[in-house]
Amino acid sequence: MTIETQGDQRTEQVHKLVAASISQDLGFLLAKLHATGSVMNNRALAEFDLKERSYSVLILANSGLEPTQREMADFLSLDPSQIVALVDELEKRGLVVRAPGKQDRRAKTVTATAKGGKLLQQAGEAAQQAEAEVLGGLAAEESAQLKALLRKALWGSGLAD
């Protein structure tokens, strides 16, 4: 992603090229904020030997919704084979367990262990902090608004804020 860290203290300088029309392009804006967000997130999660992806899987495993790997793949927009690798690693570390689906024994539900839940709590705080840094330029209300708009774009308006 090639995000310069600038000594970890200063937020990115406003660039000469912001004037270009691409700064109005949604795809570009998403790509860029996603890139910086990923760097910050992965940096914050490294302390817990997690990355954005494994963190996401752990959250879903801890949600109480007993998701199957397929559901995770669909939801996270990942290939099923990538879920396998992620769950493999988390399971090896004792953070989640696989169990055969109750109605469908082909499927495997992934559930966080107590250990996984504990780690997730700590990691969640770090991730929250990273998110706050990414949204540093926004007021609290604006941050909430941004997230609400992203959710609405993804799933429509039929969801609680």
- Please give the structure tokens belonging to residue 104: 């469908």
**Closer to DNA at the Cβ: 70 or 93?**
70
Q: Which one among 8, 26, 92, 114 touches a second copy, defined by CB under 8 A?
A: 26
Residues numbered 33-92 forming contacts with DNA, rule: CB under 7 A: 51, 68-70, 73, 78-84, 87-88
Q: Which one among 7, 9, 27, 114 touches a second copy, defined by CB under 8 A?
A: 27
Longest dimension (CA), the chain: 57
Q: Which one among 6, 46, 47, 75 touches a second copy, defined by CB under 8 A?
A: 75
Angstrom distance (rounded) from CA 90 to CA 45: 14
Q: Which one among 5, 7, 10, 17 touches a second copy, defined by CB under 8 A?
A: 17
- The answer to whether 44 and 130 are in contact (CB under 8 A) is yes
| One-character DSSP codes across 26-66 | HHHHHHHHHHHHHHHHHHHHHTTT--HHHHHHHHHHTSSS-
Binding of a second copy at residue 2 (CB under 8 A)? yes
**Which DSSP category does 29 fall into?**
H
- The residue type at 109: T
Residue 87: name its binding partner from DNA, a second copy, none (Cβ under 5 to 8 Å by kind).
Answer: DNA
- Please give the structure tokens belonging to residue 75: 């939801």
Residues contributing to the site for DNA (CB under 7 A)? 1-2, 51, 68-70, 73, 78-84, 87-88, 98, 103-108
